[in-house]
Homo-oligomer: A and B are copies of this chain.
C-alpha cells in the first residue's frame, strides 16, 4: 500500500531537499575569495550570509512591494550587497559566474537514485523558488531527471504563498490532492497542506552544517516521513 494513495505527481523543494546548496556555494565562493585574496572570509559563512538575504528579498515580491522578479535577479542583488559589506569589487563576468553557483549545486547522494526510481510511476518536477533556468541548468549539469521544470517562475508566486502550490497543480492538470510536495522543511509542507497538497518530509540533517538546529524532525503527521529519496521510493512501491 502506497504511503501517498491517489498521488500522480511528486513536486520537490530543491535547495536543501534535492541539492546541498551550502557546500556548493561555499565551493565556488572559495575560488572567488581566493582570487580576491580574501582568505579571511570563511566560504561556508559567506554561503550562509548570502542565503540569509533570500527570504527578505522574496518577501518584497510576496508582499506586492515589487512585481514578480526571478530568483537569479534577487540572488544577484543580494550578492552585490554582500560583497559591498566586505568591501569587495569584481567585474561583471566574474559576478555572473559566482551568481550562477546556484545553477551548479550537487544533489545529495540519494537524490538521483531515488528520483530515477520514483520517475517510473510518477510525474516529477521541482516546486522550488528557483527560476526555470537555474533549475534547468542544475538538472542538466547533475542529471536530475525532471519531467518538467516548474516552480515559482512558472507559478509567478513564491512559496509559501498559496498560489505557488495551487497554480503548480493547475499546470499539471491535477487536483491539489493528487500532488505531493516532498520537502525537508516543515514550514513548506505546512503551506502545501493548507493549499490541499499531500506532503512528504525528508530529513536533511546537514543542510545547515553540523550544528543544524531546525527541521531535524517532522513537526506534523505528514503523509510520508522518510530519511532519503530511496526510502521514499520504497514507501511508494517504486
A residues contacting B by CB (< 8 A) are 72, 123, 125, 131-133, 135-137, 139-140, 147-150, 153-154, 171-173
Contacts and interface: CB of A to CB of B under 8 A. Distances in A.
B139 A147 contact: yes
Contact of A147 (B72, B136, B171, B173): B136
Q: Which 5 A-B pairs give the minimum distances between C-beta atoms? A: A136-B148, A148-B149, A133-B173, A136-B147, A140-B147
B148 A123 contact: no
A150 B137 CA distance: 14
A179 B4 CA distance: 41
Number of chain copies forming the complex? 2
20 contacts: A72-B173, A123-B136, A123-B140, A125-B136, A131-B171, A132-B148, A132-B154, A132-B171, A133-B148, A133-B171, A133-B172, A133-B173, A135-B148, A136-B147, A140-B147, A148-B148, A148-B149, A149-B149, A153-B154, A153-B171
Q: Report which residue of A72, A125, A139, A171 has the largest number of chain B beta carbons within 10 angstroms of its beta carbon.
A: A171
Chain A, interface SS category: helix
A171 B71 CA distance: 11
Contacts of A173: 72, 133
Contacts of A153: 154, 171
A154 B173 CA distance: 15
A9 to B, nearest CB: 10
Nearest to A139: B147
Nearest to A154: B154
Contacts of A171: 131-133, 153
A84 to B, nearest CB: 23
